[in-house]
């Protein structure tokens, strides 16, 4: 019996493919500007600068297939990303050991209140309100490494109402998954339940209520999300 003084909040979790349970989530890390063409479209140099990270609140993960248009924004953008889920963690993880900590992979959207992010950037403030808000991380079911291995290349595309908006290849990541894990583990103690959104290819843009986003990346089943 717990001694919590209020009812315990729900544990954030992502469903596992084919009803094989759920993956409990501790933290959600996201890497910025990890595809050169996206860095350029956002007005930045595509050179290999050290990676940088932000977090979303774990309860922003939403596997319902519905994305409620958020409050306080008129310019919400899609960012299609590969998600990495960790079964274990630690500090100062070597690149060579990094993939051994991965439980599985999935697809996610890093939905962004671009107008609020722009104001924050211009003012030198944190991106928090632009990135971490309720329902801001639509996510598909996870697949374990035993089924999908460690995807390192292959097309990743996002279409809106059937029209392709984002198109890239996982092999275009500036920082690869082992490097991302190694870098992150120098700044944070990683742990089981941590997930990482690995950045988005070029073509980010706005969505409106009624739009249907479809994120595709083999071997995962497509992630369909309706803006409501
Ligand atoms: Mn992103």
185-208 pLDDT per residue, tens: 999 999 999 999 999 999 999 999
Ligand 1: centre distance to CA 91 (Å): 24
Give the pLDDT of residue 46. 76
Give the pLDDT of residue 161. 98
pLDDT mean over 128-141: 98
Domain count across the chain? 1
The DSSP symbol for 228 reads -
Residue 146 structural domain: 13-227
Ligand 1: centre distance to CA 6 (Å): 34
Tell me whether residue 5 is in a domain: no
pLDDT band at 47 (very low <50, low <70, confident <90, very high): confident
Tokens (6 digits) for 177:
């998954």
49: Cβ–Cβ under 8 A, 6 or more apart, which residues? none
What is the average pLDDT value for the chain, to the nearest integer? 96
CA angle 36, 142, 56 (to 5 degrees): 55
pLDDT mean over 168-182: 97
Say yes or no to pLDDT of 1 above 80.
no
185: Cβ–Cβ under 8 A, 6 or more apart, which residues? 89, 90, 91, 92, 93
Tell me whether residue 114 is in a domain: yes
Ligand 1: centre distance to CA 109 (Å): 8
Q: Identify the CATH number of the domain in which residue 173 sits.
A: 3.90.850.10
Give the pLDDT of residue 48. 78
Tell me whether residue 173 is in a domain: yes
pLDDT mean over 47-54: 88
Tell me whether residue 73 is in a domain: yes
Ligand 1: centre distance to CA 4 (Å): 35
How much of the chain exceeds pLDDT 90, in percent? 92
Tell me whether residue 204 is in a domain: yes
Tell me whether residue 8 is in a domain: no
Give the pLDDT of residue 220. 95
Ligand 1: centre distance to CA 64 (Å): 20
The DSSP symbol for 134 reads T
Tell me whether residue 2 is in a domain: no
Ligand 1: centre distance to CA 89 (Å): 22
């Amino acid at each position: 019996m717990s001694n919590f003084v209020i009812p315990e909040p729900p544990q954030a979790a992502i469903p596992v493919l084919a009803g094989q349970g759920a993956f409990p989530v501790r933290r959600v890390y996201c890497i910025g500007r990890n595809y050169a063409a996206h860095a350029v479209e956002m007005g930045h140099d595509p050179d290999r600068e050290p990676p940088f990270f932000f977090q979303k609140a774990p309860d922003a993960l939403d596997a319902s297939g519905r994305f409620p248009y958020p409050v306080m924004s008129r310019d919400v953008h899609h960012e299609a990303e590969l998600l990495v889920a960790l079964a274990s963690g630690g500090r100062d993880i070597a690149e060579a050991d990094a993939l051994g900590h991965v439980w599985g992979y999935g697809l996610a959207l890093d939905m962004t209140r671009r107008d609020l992010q722009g104001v924050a950037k211009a003012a030198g403030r944190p991106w928090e309100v632009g990135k971490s808000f309720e329902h801001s991380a639509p996510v598909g079911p996870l697949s374990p490494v035993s089924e999908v291995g460690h995807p390192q290349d292959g097309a990743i595309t996002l279409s809106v109402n059937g029209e392709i908006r984002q198109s890239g290849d996982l092999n275009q990541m500036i920082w690869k998954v082992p490097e991302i894990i190694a870098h992150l583990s120098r700044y944070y103690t990683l742990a089981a339940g941590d997930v990482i959104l690995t950045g988005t290819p070029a073509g980010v843009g706005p969505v409106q209520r009624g739009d249907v986003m479809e994120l595709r990346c083999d071997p995962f089943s497509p992630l369909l999300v309706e803006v409501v």
